[in-house]
Amino acid sequence: MEIILDVTDLHIEFHDHDQPEVAVEDFDLMLGRGEIVGIVGESGSGKSMSALAIAGLLNRKSLTKSGRIMFNGTDLLTCDRNILRSYQGDEISIIFQEPMTSLNPVKRIGWQVEESLFIHHPEISKAVRKEMAIKTLYSVGLSDAEKVYRMYPHELSGGMRQRVMIAAAMIGNPKILIADEPTTALDVTVQAQIVELLKKLNRERKTSIIFISHDLSLVSQLCERVIVMQKGNIVESGKTKKVFKRPGNIYTKRLIAAIPKIELR
């Protein structure tokens, strides 16, 4: 399998208080083309921090990063801001947990979906942009794409908003999609639909997905490989089925035991 992202020894430290706080330590990740990897952990485990670092979104002053994030032959940690920007939203996209706040309330859906095209491919004409946006909206399961294109975020339900977010992330056909708890704020039936959608996009477009969640059962439905994090460290990683059947780490065992078991009949 072709490796498209190679993270080695990622280390993130905060300096907000008197003592530096380690958020992520020795994080390694190799992501193959078309692969779905899950990162699982509880709040404070560093799973979101790692993802934000990969997306190049950690730029606070009070923070030190070390290690390597290799993508397309460049190290995203040390490369020029302009190179990083040319990847963001185009080659590497990210969707967040809260579809309510990640969309701009005063802009139409169409504008928000087209935004990354407008930035990265200004040569594309307005008409073509619109056509692509509607096609993408359609592909994320919004059958009424033409109408949705003209709507505002508040006119959509939570599930539809998250679909719009995914459309905005997918319009540039990114190589990597980072999904940071994309279903946590949604109802269970909608959750299942979004997971199905991610599977479909992965199958059809060969997009690699990093799926971050605290929900082990969702991760087991979607991901081939899983990384379990606790307090900034990777405590276990491997094929999802194997990790679930024979967890090698005490913390992983505790996480699995925390899911209420249901034995019907």
Partner 1 sequence: MNENTVLEVENLNVFYKNNKSSLFSQNKKIQALFDVSLSMEEGEVLAIAGESGSGKSTLARTIVGINRDYTGRITKKYENDTPQMVFQDPYSSLNPAKKIGWLLKEPLRVDRNKKWTATEMDIRVKEIMEEIELPMSMLERSPAQLSGGQRQRICIGIALMRSPKLLIADEPVSALDVTIQAQILELLENLHKKHGISIIFISHDLRVVYKISDHVMIMKDGRVVEYGKTRDVYLNPQHEYTSQLLKAAGIIQE
Q: Which residues bind partner 1 (CB under 8 A)?
A: 42-43, 158, 187-192, 214-217, 221, 254-255, 257-260, 262, 264-265
- The two beta strands, 92-95 and 36-40, are unpaired
In the complex, the smallest distance separating the C-beta of residue 229 from partner 1, rounded to whole angstroms, is 12
Q: Which is nearer to partner 1, 51 or 216 (by Cβ)? A: 216
Which 8-state DSSP code applies to residue 102? Answer: S
Residue (of 160, 172, 156, 168) closest to 105 by Cα position: 156
How near is the Cβ of 43 to partner 1 at its closest, in Å? Answer: 6
> How far apart are CB 72 and partner 1 at their closest, in Å?
36
d(CA 175, CA 168): 14
Question: Is residue 28 a contact partner of residue 6, using CB atoms and an 8 Å limit?
Answer: no
Is 34 strand, coil or helix?
A: coil
Which is nearer to partner 1, 43 or 125 (by Cβ)?
43
Secondary structure of residue 107 in the 3-state scheme = coil
Minimum CB separation of residue 244 from partner 1 in Å reads 13
Say how far apart CA 31 and CA 34 lie, in whole Å.
9
Given the complex with partner 1, which of 126 and 265 has the nearer CB atom? 265
CB of 265 to partner 1, least distance (A): 6
Q: What residue ranges in 103-199 does DSSP mark as E strands?
A: 176-180
Q: Which one, 88 or 191, has the nearer CB to partner 1?
A: 191
User: Closest CB to partner 1 among 74 and 221?
Assistant: 221
